[in-house]
Amino acid sequence: MTNEFLTPAEMAAACSVSVDTLRYYEREGLLDDIARTSGGQRQYSSNDVAWVQVLRCLRATAMPIREMRAFAELVREGEAALADRLDLLANHRKRIVDQVAVLHDALELVDHKIEAYTAVLAGTPKVENAGQTRNPTLDGKGIRAS
């Protein structure tokens, strides 16, 4: 950042979000104490940029807004709430790990379907399920042998 403060448009660009998202975060209590010019325009600091990056990470990992709000409140409480912040993030981490496992299984299924459909289109025999721990046809729904 070349300026001490960023305008809303500069902040949005720096954080890869829209100005509307910044306003939404502010309305939801996720962003506060934003400095303003004498004309009332918001001025964002480098700390604000870092905080929005945290918010984007939490949102990208499917943390609900109400939980993000609770986290923001705990951050505002300072070190007195450090244990609560740690607990909240540890619980969220577990949900992320569970999501990754679900996505990994889904990716295996999609890869299997791509391989099976490619084989059918190429006129080769149907791909077998060798080495797979799950039924890749979702209870028989999908490609069937003629």
Determine the pLDDT at residue 26: 94
CA distance 121 to 141: 18
Q: Domain locations in the chain?
A: 1-76, 78-146
- If phi > 0 it is left, if psi is from -120 to 50 it is alpha, else beta; for residue 33 that is left
Specify the DSSP class assigned to residue 77: T
* 3-class secondary structure, 61: coil
Q: Does domain 1-76 have CATH number 3.40.50.720?
A: no
CA quadruple 29, 33, 34, 37: dihedral positive or negative? Answer: positive
Determine the pLDDT at residue 3: 54
| Tens digit of each residue's pLDDT, the chain (146 residues) | 445 899 999 999 999 999 999 999 999 999 988 999 999 999 999 999 999 999 999 999 999 999 999 999 999 999 999 999 999 999 999 999 999 999 999 999 999 999 999 999 988 666 566 555 555 554 455 554 44
Determine the pLDDT at residue 123: 86
Determine the pLDDT at residue 4: 85
* Phi, psi dihedrals of residue 102, rounded to the nearest 5°: -65, -45
pTM (two decimals): 0.74
- Report the run of H or E that residue 43 belongs to, with start and end: strand 42-43
The count of other CB atoms within 10 Å of the CB of residue 114 is 11
Asked if 92 and 74 touch (Cβ cutoff 8 Å), the reply is no
> Diameter of the chain by CA atoms?
75
Determine the pLDDT at residue 33: 86
